[in-house]
Amino acid sequence: MADETDIVVCDACPVLCRIRPGRTGACGRYGNAEGALARMDPVVLAQRAAESDSKFVPFLSQAGQWDGSLVPASNTFLTGIGSGTTYPDYKPAPFIVSSRHDNVDMVTVVTEGIFSYCGFKLKIDTDRFIGPEQAAVRYEGEQVGHVTTAEYGSQMLALGGVRHLTGGSKKEGNVTCRMMLALGNKERVELTVDGGAGLSVQAGKPPVINGVEEARMRVGCGSATIGMFARQWHGKVDEVIVVDDHITGVLTEHQAGRFLGMTPSGIRVRGRKSTPGRYFQVAEPGTGWGGTDITDPLTIIEKIDPKVAYPGLRLLMVSTTGEDAAYFELDDDLKPAPAELPEPLVGVVERIGENCEPALVSVLFMAGAGGSLRAGVTENPVRLTRSVKDSLTRVTCGGAPVYVWPGGGITIMVDVSRMPERAFGYVPTPALVGPIEFTMRLEDYRALGGHMDDLRDLGVVGEKGAVQVTRWRPDNPWPFGPDGGPDGGAD
């Protein structure tokens, strides 16, 4: 049994784990290494290749281990992954490093933020009904978020947040934290929506809704689809109805059909007419045609006017993705009779599909950089906030660019697919742990009252523990660039 003197108390979060030799704390991030508290994961350096070198260092492999030798600072960025934290708030950031880029002295302040005030926004490319707005979203039976306002061609979820982490039961908080950790680390997560669908989501992958994988994001609403393809339908068909849960389009009534001189067909669809050729609420939301609950498109036809329609009238009904299409010709009784889709129309339906982008799940991490983060940068935290708002300080997460929300504080949003693998951790308070970096000119860091006594050269990183090197994503802006524009090459 270990002697009490061999136990170390971890102060990296409020839990204060007592860790025996060779063991780790509850989060798995810190451990007892020969009687000393140590960050168990390596700190990650992201390195751009030189112009003449097309070989990149692989991520998290033996070949990626850094031997501690000097690295070209102009091509290297220190991320917050594996860096450690500033908790209990008064400490300077784990790494405050200097480097030189384009003859300018720069500083990068690096830490792992402990985020209680954080969550994820999910954009799910689909018109399928996933649940009513404001409906509870559940993971392992616990509510972890809700359905929020749908966007053009996408359903949206708001997940996580401080209320679910700390405002409910202990189980709800722990389940929410597990779900957020998995999402942030680009793992697949199974969710259910009250009164709605079962969802399987993963950053950068197609969504799976009720066991069916989505392939296409719609080309537009029914009205937009009419406008885009009206000229290609003209002369090949007498009427086109594009079925859509939000705005169903009717070609001959639509301005596009009128401009082409098309004759009214006399076919009237159900729902509430908005402007000519545009109908709302033609059916209930669902997983059928165009995000409605219908599988037979003829059910949305309210009436056919015998004074206008005529036998032989050619009718195409199609969804906003082109995945569903049916062709009819009116018989002598003016009833739509199914017929084979003529070859000229096949090409236009296929073109709808061609213009649909792949359906994907986008996962955006959103968090507020609070007191511990800002105090780790400067003794006067409000100056950091002002520096960020004045664009003197650039904020990144694992090297990935962030959007800084306007207004007070430093509220950031970042696409997790642009971050390195396994960028997130957790603490059992519960809260999520994520990397954050502040990069600025040395003179600006001095002006905001930075911890100048703790400033070190980039080479000091290797002295504090294991280091691994990953390839810099060439589609991410280089943090040391003058304008933050994309730059994957060498200086």
Q: How far apart are CA 320 and CA 227, in angstroms?
A: 12
pTM value?
A: 0.89
Token pair belonging to 75: 């091509």
Residue spans per domain, the chain = 1-40, 45-114+370-398+433-471, 118-216, 222-354
Q: Tens digits of per-residue pLDDT, 427-440?
A: 999 999 999 999 99
pLDDT at res. 65: 53
Which range is least confidently modeled, 39-43, 145-149, 197-201, 216-220? Answer: 39-43
pLDDT at res. 71: 56
Q: Tens digits of per-residue pLDDT, 44-97?
A: 999 987 543 434 343 333 345 555 554 566 789 999 999 888 877 778 999 999
- Give the mean pLDDT of the chain: 90
Asked whether the predicted pLDDT for residue 465 surpasses 90, the reply is no
Asked whether the predicted pLDDT for residue 234 surpasses 50, the reply is yes
pLDDT at res. 488: 39
pLDDT at res. 3: 61
Q: How far apart are CA 197 and CA 462, in angstroms?
A: 49
Asked whether the predicted pLDDT for residue 246 surpasses 60, the reply is yes
pLDDT tier at 136, thresholds 50, 70, 90: very high
Rg, Å, the chain Cα set: 28
- Cα 107 to chain centroid distance, Å, stands at 29
Q: How far apart are CA 451 and CA 446, in angstroms?
A: 8
pLDDT at res. 463: 67
Q: Which runs of consecutive H residues, i.e. helices, occur in 198-266?
A: 222-233, 255-259
Average pLDDT of span 9-31: 88
Q: How many residues does the chain have?
A: 491
The side-by-side arrangement of strands in the sheet containing 336-339 is 272-273, 278-280, 248-250, 239-243, 314-319, 325-330, 336-339
Average pLDDT of span 297-303: 97
Higher pLDDT, 179 or 85: 179
